[in-house]
Amino acid sequence: MLYGATPNPEATFPETTPVETAPRLSFLDATILGVVEGITEFLPVSSTGHLILINNLLDLNGEQALRSKNGEILWVIPPSPENPEGVPLTSKLAANTYTIVIQAGAIGAVAFLYYSTILTILSGLLGRSTEGIRLFRNLIIAFCPAVAAGLLLEDWIDKYLFSVSTVVTALIVGGVLMLAMDWWWKRSASNTSELGTKKDLEPFQMTVLQSRFIGVMQCFALCPGSSRSMMTIVGGNLAGLSPAKAAEFSFLLGLPILTGAAIYKGYQNGGAMIAAYGWPQITWGCLIAAISAGFSVRWLVSYLNKHGLALFGIYRILLAIVVIAFLR
């Protein structure tokens, strides 16, 4: 939430800390971020990694404390006797919050495209669908490990891992992993998964162990650049889902995870972000993210039904090479 400035900001804010007027996010910037979020959120290429790179290109990663138009410092946490310096809003913090909040658009797109599956889950909760209640159980089991790890490691991740170097490393490692998984899935002579179950299961047919395994795999996606979708698809493959079914499970699993992240970040820093960027840009970014996510999800399922994961592994490695070359 946003707090106003004190009557004399310099009296409670270190004089050596640079301060600048809050940047106005243009509609072009909002459009770019919305398109990148929508396209990459459900592809196994890391939406967070792409948005960190885009924020750098758009010069939205400044560490200076920001002021509103009338000159007041924008506080995330205002100065207090226990914390005299407080926590001011920075360009980087506002941009990071924005890129998480506009996930609401991608969430809405998946909810619309998979509304029949969501209705099946609701029927299961009412005791009318065995398939629905088993799918709900599997989603909850896969959901919990990443949420617990995220809450425990959030501050450490924000402080040490939100960097271009981390993203580049994770892109390369993830690219190699996806190429290996593509090779394994296509060439495995056995008709059983690594967890001992027939391949090409439906998501509701997975066991508690398999669902928990996918949840643990998702924990690795907390590293920017690794991709929640990638880890879910890889985990789903090892558990016995085809790439396309694993992707659909990832979409459904993303609904509670992304919703929780958007609400949590919005509660923490939303007021300050709104003061920095304004409601029109936030709303526009969500709309663009929803439209682009809808196309992305449809395309991914169609592609994975006919092809494998190799394309995404190659893309991740090539993107990392381009970023390295650009930074030199």
Per-residue pLDDT reduced to its tens digit, 76-134: 888 888 888 888 888 888 888 898 899 999 999 999 999 999 999 999 999 999 999 99
Q: What pLDDT does 16 receive?
A: 37
Q: What pLDDT does 198 receive?
A: 47
> What is the 3 state secondary structure string of the chain?
CCECCCCCHHHHCCCCCCEEECCCCCHHHHHHHHHHHHHHCCCCCCHHHHHHHHHHHCCCCCCCEEECCCCCECEEECCCCCCCCCEECEHHHHHHHHHHHCHHHHHHHHHHHCHHHHHHHHHHHCCCCHHHHHHHHHHHHHHHHHHHHHHHHHHHHHHHCCCHHHHHHHHHHHHHHHHHHHHHHHHCCCCECCCCCECCECHHHCCHHHHHHHHHHHHHHHCCCCCHHHHHHHHHHHHCECHHHHHHHHHHHHHHHHHHHHHHHHHHHHHHHHHHHCHHHHHHHHHHHHHHHHHHHHHHHHHHHHCCCHHHHHHHHHHHHHHHHHHC
Q: Residue 316 pLDDT > 90, yes or no?
A: yes
Q: Tell if the pTM clears 0.85, that is, is over it.
A: no
What are the extents of the domains in the chain?
Answer: 9-327
pLDDT over 90 percentage in the chain: 44
Instruction: Name the pLDDT band for 225 (thresholds 50, 70, 90).
Output: confident
Q: Residue 189 pLDDT > 80, yes or no?
A: no
Per-residue pLDDT reduced to its tens digit, 36-64: 999 998 999 988 788 888 988 888 877 77
